[in-house]
Amino acid sequence: MRLFFDPRQRAHAPAREFHNGGWTPYAEVPERVDAILAALGPVEAPADAGEAPILRVHDAGYIDFLKTAYDRWVAAGRAGDVIAYAWPVVRRRDVRLDRIDALAGRYTMDAVTPLTADTWTSAYWNAQTALAATGAVLAGGKAFALCRPPGHHAGADYAGGYCHLNTAAIAAQAARDAGCARVAILDIDYHHGNGTQDIFWDRGDVFYASLHADPATDFPFYWGHTDEVGEAAGEGTTLNLPLPQGTRLEGFRRAQGQALEAIARFAPDLLVVSFGADTWEGDPISKFALTTADYAVLARDIAACGWPVVTLMEGGYAVDALGANVASFLSGF
């Protein structure tokens, strides 16, 4: 299996995040990739495919915000990382926004995703890693993209949930542009991938299936409910399978089987897997109960379907267990 990663993905390192009424250390630390690299061995650096494949998914104004937010923040006399305090919840529309705080609210969804001087650099190379792995699979091989930061909470024009560029969406769109007629995304991170769902909401050419903690109890709260099935040409190509806290292999595997059956009916040319190891029993911010050995079982079920598969890393915050959990999952292929 070919493994892709660029060291510049480590640079983004906010000091803290705001949730549950206070500041806590940022959970999505660069040491996560060190743990995975130590378990997997040597990786390839991605080629630079430029910004065009990123702009196939993301809004140009949002990309400009990611590139300039930190400098605007410093110019406004602020210390620390960029974080919003007001969000345009109602009647979102394109009004002129000059102040960094206004832009930060417009282009983010939460207070757990601060931006730093290095955010764009890490996000850019993160996307290149996803694209390189996708290209390797389309060329007939097997590949894993060691994506970090994660991507599935980022929408076309917003950051959130530690995510800036939606790597799964960029990979899926690149595969469409390379000639795949239908692409499916299976999201098995603990959290619902609201960004991926939003991006393909009204499209019939990309199927999005997600297993995740019930949004009634877990972030991102406002997406991932069972009645969200897509709209227009995309009606029926979004599938949400929320699961209760405490879910173990049996329940998770049954739901994954349901998702794979739906994907089989869609008959994809490529499957993109958004893989989060935050479903592990000891994850510090999540509440499922999968074991390290369970990941190999889940990956074997996916591999048995026979589609070309590219796996992209999403979450997983128990740094000491992360290497073994990722290695176990990849062993199933």
Catalytic positions, please? 153
The answer for residues whose C-beta is within 8 angstroms of residue 27's C-beta and 6 or more apart is: 17, 162, 284, 285, 317
Partner from Zn ion, ligand OKP, none contacting 308, C-beta within 5 to 8 A by type: none
Query: Which lies closer to ligand OKP via its Cβ, residue 230 or residue 315?
Result: 315
Among 299, 314, 324, 330, binds ligand OKP (CB under 6 A): 314
Q: Write out the H or E segment, with its range, that includes residue 272.
A: strand 270-275
Which whole-number Å values give the CA distances from 90 to 87, 106, 215, 272, in the listed order?
A: 9, 11, 21, 33
Relative to beta strand 143-145, strand 2-4 is parallel
Contact 323, 36 (CB under 8 A): yes
- What span, in angstroms and rounded, lies between the C-alpha atoms of 14 and 81? 6
Partner from Zn ion, ligand OKP, none contacting 165, C-beta within 5 to 8 A by type: none
User: Which residues form the interface with Zn ion (CB under 5 A)?
Assistant: 189-191, 276, 278, 315
- Residue 277 found at the interface with ligand OKP (CB under 6 A): no
Partner from Zn ion, ligand OKP, none contacting 151, C-beta within 5 to 8 A by type: none
| Total of chain residues touching ligand OKP, rule CB under 6 A | 17
- Residue 81 found at the interface with ligand OKP (CB under 6 A): no
Q: Which residue is nearest to ligand OKP (CB)?
A: 315
Q: Which residue is nearest to Zn ion (CB)?
A: 315
Q: Answer left, alpha or beta for residue 89, where phi above 0 means left and psi between -120 and 50 means alpha.
A: alpha
Return the bridge partners of 271, or none: 184, 309
- Residue 308 found at the interface with ligand OKP (CB under 6 A): no
- Residue 155 found at the interface with ligand OKP (CB under 6 A): no
Among 27, 130, 143, 260, binds ligand OKP (CB under 6 A): 27
Relative to beta strand 270-275, strand 238-243 is unpaired
Partner from ligand OKP, Zn ion, none contacting 162, C-beta within 5 to 8 A by type: ligand OKP
Q: Write out the H or E segment, with its range, that includes residue 71.
A: helix 60-75
Among 285, 309, 310, 330, binds ligand OKP (CB under 6 A): 285
- Say whether 6 sits in a helix, a strand or coil: coil
Least CB distance to ligand OKP at residue 278 (A): 5
CA distance between the termini of the chain: 8
Least CB distance to Zn ion at residue 224 (A): 11
- What span, in angstroms and rounded, lies between the C-alpha atoms of 40 and 326? 8
- Residue 109 found at the interface with ligand OKP (CB under 6 A): no
- Residue 222 found at the interface with ligand OKP (CB under 6 A): no
- Residue 112 found at the interface with ligand OKP (CB under 6 A): yes
Q: Which residues bind ligand OKP (CB under 6 A)?
A: 17, 19, 24, 27, 112, 150, 153, 161-162, 189, 191, 219, 276, 278, 285, 314-315
